[in-house]
Structure 1
Amino acid sequence: MEPKKWVFCGSALSSEEKCLLVKFGSMIGVPVNKFWASNVTHVIAATDSDGACTRTLKYLMAILNGKWVLSIDWIKACMESMHPVDEENYEIILDSHGSRDGPKNGRLDFVAGYKEGLQSLVIAAGGTLLESEEELVEQRHDLASPSGTLIVYNLDPPQGCKLGEEVSIIWQRTNEAQDLAAKVGSQVIGHTWLLESISSYKLQPSVN
Structure 2
Amino acid sequence: MEDKQFNPLVTSNSPLPGLVPGSSQYLIKEGISALHRGEDLQVDQLNTSSSSSPQGQCTDKEGISTNYRAEDKLANQSSTPLDQWVLLGIALSASEKDSLKEFASLTSSTLAQEWDKTVTHVIVGRNAGSRCGRSYEVQMAILSGKWVVAAGWVVDCLVERISGPKPCLAKLIPSPEISYEVKFYDGARTSIDGPAKGRAGAAEGARKLLSGLHFCFSAYMHPEDREDIQNLIAAGGGQVLEGISPDGLRENLKRNPAEVYFIYHGGPPRTPTSDFDLEVQECNKYVGSGARMIRHLQLFDAILCYDVLFLKPTGVFTKICK
Taking structure 1 as the reference length, the TM-score comes to: 0.83
Question: 1:100 aligns to what?
Answer: 192
Rate the CA distance shift 1:65–1:104 in 2: closer, same or farther, 3 A. Answer: same
What's the offset of the Cα at 1:80? 2.9
Q: How far does the alpha carbon of each residue in 1:57-93 deviate from its partner, in whole angstroms, 9 at most, with x for none?
A: 1111000000000000000122234421111010001
Q: Is the partner of 1:158 in helix, strand or coil?
A: coil
15-24 vs 128-137, which moves further:
128-137
Q: Is the partner of 2:176 in helix, strand or coil?
A: coil
Post-superposition, which runs of at least 4 consecutive aligned residues in structure 1 deviate over 4 A? 95-99
> Is 2:265 aligned against 1:154?
yes
What CA distance in whole angstroms lies between the structure 2 residues aligned with 1:190 and 1:10? 28
Question: 1:198 aligns to what?
Answer: 303
**2:85–2:109 contact (8 Å) kept in structure 1:** yes
Count the aligned residue pairs.
197
State the superposition RMSD in angstroms.
2.6
Matched AA of 2:278 = Q
Q: How far does the alpha carbon of each residue in 1:132-175 deviate from its partner, in whole angstroms, 9 at most, with x for none?
A: 21653453234233xx11111111343342xxx5xx53443133
> Is 2:215 aligned against 1:123?
no
Question: 1:174 aligns to what?
Answer: 280
> Is 2:254 aligned against 1:141?
yes
Question: 2:19 aligns to what?
Answer: none
Aligned partner of 1:69 among 137, 143, 148? 148
What's the offset of the Cα at 1:180? 1.9
**2:249–2:290 contact (8 Å) kept in structure 1:** no
What CA distance in whole angstroms lies between the structure 1 residues aligned with 2:208 and 2:287? 30
**2:253–2:290 contact (8 Å) kept in structure 1:** no
What's the offset of the Cα at 1:96? 8.4
Question: 2:292 aligns to what?
Answer: 187
User: Between Structure 1 and Structure 2, whose CA radius of gyration is higher?
Assistant: 2
Alignment identity in percent? Answer: 30
What CA distance in whole angstroms lies between the structure 2 residues aligned with 1:192 and 1:28? 37
Rate the CA distance shift 1:44–1:129 in 2: closer, same or farther, 3 A. Answer: same
Say which structure, 1 or 2, has more relative contact order (CA 8 Å, 6+ apart).
Answer: 2
Rate the CA distance shift 1:201–1:112 in 2: closer, same or farther, 3 A. Answer: closer
**2:201–2:208 contact (8 Å) kept in structure 1:** no
What CA distance in whole angstroms lies between the structure 2 residues aligned with 1:16 and 1:112? 37
Taking structure 2 as the reference length, the TM-score comes to: 0.55
Judging by fraction of residues, say which structure has more helix.
1
Q: Is the partner of 1:13 in helix, strand or coil?
A: coil
Q: Is the partner of 1:34 in helix, strand or coil?
A: coil
